[in-house]
Copies of this chain bind each other. A is one copy, B any other.
């Protein structure tokens, strides 16, 4: 189990937030960091929708979902203005930082380098004490991601959250969600 502190984020700008987010300011909360590129198909089809769902499902929990735009290719067409249009059209409402360009023509941006990410999407879980607990490149099963979030939330505090059932049906009938006793 990785237990080192998660590196600070190095960014040039933030969208969807009034002021820049600093990781150090998020102590006490579990942080789900989604590193993506707006022209990465796997990010658009799978990882960003998963991050949006996580933000909704854990809205009442001490969890913060943060996006990080880690562009390592096609830099010219994935600038801040393009990203802003993308976030607007895709209705992505959580804060998104723009990873700072690498030094001396390094195509890999600074935070991506600091976390040693292999590509996008990369999902990072940071616990309430700021420690890097998980980092995954690629697609993660919802049950698996949920379980790791649940474990970190359990460590963060005793608060508990109830399930919410979706689409319960009328008594005595079957619907898409199930069959109810009459």
Contact = CB atoms under 8 A, between A and B. Distances in A.
A73 B172 CA distance: 9
Copies of this chain in its oligomeric complex: 4
A76 B81 contact: yes
Interface residues of A, number: 76
B54 A143 contact: yes
Interface of A: 1, 37, 39-47, 50, 53-54, 57-58, 72-74, 76-79, 81-82, 85-86, 89-91, 108, 117-121, 123, 134, 136-151, 153-155, 160-169, 174-182
A102 to B, nearest CB: 12
- Mostly, the A contact residues are mixed
A1 B160 contact: yes
Given A47-B178, A150-B150, 14 more contacts: A1-B160, A40-B179, A41-B174, A58-B143, A77-B82, A108-B181, A120-B178, A134-B162, A137-B165, A138-B168, A143-B146, A144-B146, A147-B147, A149-B150
A68 to B, nearest CB: 14
Contacts of A82: 77, 82
Contacts of A43: 178-179
